[in-house]
Amino acid sequence: MGRSRNNAERRIIQFKIYLTKSEKRKIVEHVKLEKFNSFSDYARERLLKQRLSKHITVNNNYIRTFKTMDYNLTKIGTNLNQVAHKLNAYNTYMLTEEDQQTFKECFELLKRCYEVLGQHLRKIK
């Protein structure tokens, strides 16, 4: 870094560990993935600093699934807003067969979203 260290702050102690080749490859991948300049910087960050968030990598199937869920939840919200608008616009408005069907569809979509979300959350844990 750009600042100089006094003798008390200089890093003069070496810490040595033994790894398998696959462990070393995995660490090197993480150093690159998290964009550290060196293994030393990566190790200090990971071991000495409190991390507030974790880096999570997901495959394209997860991304597709969650985008679909987002679309479906938006669709549910739109349908519910349409029903609420009708109910608020007319004090004497009674739910029609179409409204009841909309509620059933919303419920089924919500149920499916929760099922899929649960499946994916179990895989993450």
Domain identity same for 48 and 88: no
Domain identity same for 76 and 120: yes
7 lies in some domain: no
- C-alpha pair distances (Å), 7 with each of 4, 11, 24, 41: 10, 9, 31, 19
Q: How confident is the model at residue 51 (pLDDT cuts 50, 70, 90)?
A: low
Whether the predicted pLDDT of 45 surpasses 90: no
Domain identity same for 22 and 39: yes
The residue segments making up the domain with residue 47 are 14-55
Prediction pTM value: 0.41
- C-alpha pair distances (Å), 74 with each of 34, 61, 77, 87, 106: 33, 20, 5, 20, 11
In this predicted structure, which of 53-57, 63-67, 74-78, 90-94 has the lowest mean pLDDT?
Answer: 53-57
The per-residue pLDDT for range 99-115, each reduced to its tens digit, is: 888 888 888 888 888 78
Domain identity same for 26 and 46: yes
Domain identity same for 89 and 38: no
Domain identity same for 25 and 75: no
The per-residue pLDDT for range 69-94, each reduced to its tens digit, is: 888 888 888 888 887 787 778 777 77
108 contacts 116 by C-beta, under 8 angstroms: no
Question: How many domains is the chain partitioned into structurally?
Answer: 2
Domain identity same for 86 and 112: yes
* CA-CA-CA-CA torsion sign (111, 116, 119, 124): negative
Domain identity same for 33 and 79: no
Helix H segments across 1-125?
21-33, 39-48, 60-89, 97-124
